[in-house]
Structure 1
Amino acid sequence: MTSRSCSRSGCDERAVATLTYVYHESTAVIGPLATRAEPHGYDLCRRHSMNLSAPKGWEVIRLAEDFTDPEPTDDDLLALADAVREVGLNYGVEEERQQQSTRSSMVEVARRGHLTVLADPDA
């Protein structure tokens, strides 16, 4: 899971809330951090989400008062584990293939799926 930072200029704090505007209702809505960055949403840190004020005539709706840092979900952890496992399973496979091909007198001509075409060394 990638950590997103606050959208306010000069602030490098971790984002914990998302600000969206409903222009036709003159409303600013601060809710939990969106699952992904949205083009019309602004990620805010805890300090900026708590201190936000709206222009005169606008209303601020806070969907939550206590914004906490989002915890990694099981899906994120499983995806990370799968990626690590895949890299671990393929580690050294290419080197092993190269070593095997140099040891063999047969020359690999083509490969498709699990099939390999070898040149006849006596021909």
Structure 2
Amino acid sequence: MTDYRQCSRPGCGNRAIATLRYNYAARTATVNPLEPGDDPHSWDLCDRHLSRLTVPEGWGLQRTEDPSPEVSVPVAAFADPGIHIEGIEDEDFTDEEMQALAAALEDGADSTYLTGSGVGGVSDTDPLTSAQRRPVSRVVRRTDIPQPSGHHPSRRNLPGRAPQRHLRAVHYDGE
């Protein structure tokens, strides 16, 4: 019995370092640091499999890193100020931290992605990033698909090497 969580990939017994979760509705794959609990809809990956991770075409990959302890802010800190949450006090945050949070929220609200005039909130002049691109459907006509010829070496019915008969030798007398 191991005292650590193993990689979820079949045949791999290495120590897991990250959790992979697919969001099918948003077409994104999210890689987080190893999460507690055993979710049947997530994959625990070792370093080797994490470095070789790819996502399906048209999907986005989001990687979140371990938050450093000095900038770690609990989610409950963003609750309504009128609601008292056990363990969180107004004095827990300095004025500088609150100002930095307010500035970050303002920058996010001022971004072109949220307030742009183009399609989907993106300005028409901004180049599309890979996260904003969507795959385009391609129309394939039945006539564009090559039809099988029926010739195959195992059937021994490949076309023979006949001489080229479309070229005719003509005798020229010089007249």
What's the TM-score, normalizing by structure 1?
A: 0.49
Structure with the larger strand share? 1
Structure with the larger helix share? 1
The structure having more radius of gyration, on CA atoms, is 2
